[in-house]
Structure 1
């Protein structure tokens, strides 16, 4: 793929962003996605059910076809997309990510070649807007660390980065060994475990506030967060594409086939060997790893080829997120409390 639009649409989250935006712009698209997505949803008829509605003549309204959807997408006025709508579509694309199970109906719909082709003009328009220009920027010096907790609870003390990564590596090796011994090799088996590919416990920072408070994969709908400014320097490995993630995995491979096999098979449909970066070894060369928003949109939730037999998944990351592998980042000012009245409402900084 060559164009920026095609790169964006290569990823499940990028496709979902464009589909969410199209639904905001045209109720005809929203209606078609509602019905067609239901038909493709793995939980159709069980965890996801459709209630029938009678039309004016007492019968069921006509169900839109795939051709109806692609025609509506091609007729969209892509230039009418505003900043708030683009940000909202980005939030929905992240919120609907589920790297531990099958793609939902809307993701499956957006992956159809006909739908991807019809979304190209909208994707091109989005990438040209001022709202998307930060999506491929390098890590800024100043960022924010987020501590999700009830109001008034202070952030726990941070451990030294080397200690954190050593504990992560030891725990991940134990889990992999235990999974290889105890879990079935059949990827179809109903089994789940650790599905993310970042080092638990390491300092994570974001660059966009308040938008970054909503760009959280596997969010629990929290309504209160403590935000602390962080300023860091040092050597940052920039992940701006799938090839960047793959290169990191090739240089520092950490096998996770047994512990990730079932979740990542459901997510990607791929059966084979899996690796993630060995974050402890990467810290010998790099102080931080930054995943741009565009890299997240084009790479998350899909199998990224490492070499002939191995692949990886960028799972549990968030757009424009930095993970610190050394102690080169420090607090930059006192913590602030941000809150919202309910999930989906705007975030407000406490006075």
Structure 2
């Protein structure tokens, strides 16, 4: 078998993340890749990919060195998000209110042309990545951002590691919040499953954990699939990027060292650090 180099693997990972759309039906490539014959033919390649040195970080837990991303140029700086208690409280209130409205107003037919909230994590909390510049390209359904301010961050505390889909399921099972009415149509299109949908109650998760980290391998094996929580409930890991840490309590701070300012090339193939020697990565 032809050996696959690290750059080719990174490009494939970037493409997989960029084309992930948890609110719509699988496309032709998705159906083709799911065929038993195709999956069987790709097994040896997948086994090889998991042995090369450039993919060993796919299984790593949250690293000490983290980076927050601000998708704005250097002349438009912004502080890091703070007050996660307020952010999670607002998220919980909005999520429950949306569920009540959706139950009353939205059709129960999962095939109805309707879309709403489809992600499974709270907005407004601090999120960080573990690798720069690679992480700048691992953004679900990116809109072609051309500028990024990269902020060094350090945080301590209890981190829940999502290493497999079952780890995500366990988090949902331990702290369930039903979102069937608000996710029904998007997640049916994505997974083909119609039933009861669950996500974590992030306010309750924050009472036990300071952060939740999604490994790259868990993303690749678990995202955008209907994962069974119990006899009648399922969940979807949707909207997260690989190797992303979500901070649920106020334990993370901007760290020593300058903010970095990166700019995407004209052909959108590489990012360059505009303050240091040019560094690019596919």
Distance 1:223 1:260 in 2: 31
> Which structure shows the bigger proportion of residues in helix conformation?
1
Match of 2:273?
Answer: 349
Q: Counterpart in 1 of 2:34?
A: 111
Instruction: Give the number of the structure with larger relative contact order, counting CA–CA contacts within 8 Å between residues 6 or more apart.
Output: 2
Larger radius of gyration: 1
**How large is the Cα RMSD of the aligned pairs?**
1.1
Distance 1:192 1:342 in 2: 33
Q: Are residues 177 and 106 of structure 1, via their aligned partners in 2, closer, same or farther at CA, if it must alter by over 3 Å?
A: same
CA distance in 1, matches of 2:79, 2:28: 39
Unaligned runs of 5+ in 2: 276-282
Please name the residue that 1:120 is paired with: 43
Q: Is the 8 A contact 1:202 1:324 kept in 2?
A: yes
Matched, 1:336 2:276: no
Maintained 8 Å contact 2:82/2:250: no
SS in 1 for 2:50: helix
In the aligned structure 2, how far is the partner of 1:256 from the partner of 1:216? 24
1:192 pairs with one of 115, 126, 134: 115
Question: What per-residue deviation string (whole Å, max 9, x for no partner) do you get for residues 75-134 of structure 1?
Answer: xx2x42111000000000101101000011111110111111110000000000001100
Shift of 1:193: 0.5
Given the superposition, is the C-alpha separation of residues 170 and 138 from structure 1 closer, same or farther in structure 2, using an over 3 Å criterion? same
CA distance in 2, matches of 1:157, 1:202: 9
Look up the match of 1:315: 238
**How far apart, CA to CA, are the structure 2 residues paired with 1:346 and 1:235?**
35
| TM-score, normalised relative to structure 2 | 0.95
1:260 paired to 2:170: no
Which stretches in structure 1 are left out of the alignment for 5+ residues? 1-76
Matched, 1:154 2:154: no
- Cα shift readout 1:156-180 (whole Å, capped 9, x = no counterpart): 5523011111011111111111111
| Residue pairs, 1:238-277, within 5 angstroms | 238-277=161-200
Distance in 2 (alpha carbons) for counterparts of 1:143 and 1:158: 15
Contact kept? 2:162, 2:213, Cα under 8 Å: yes
Q: d(CA) in 1 for partners of 2:266 and 2:136?
A: 13
Answer whether contact 1:223 1:343 (CA < 8 A) is retained: no
Distance 1:343-1:182 versus aligned 2 partners, 3 A rule = farther
Q: 1:302 aligned to 2:225?
A: yes
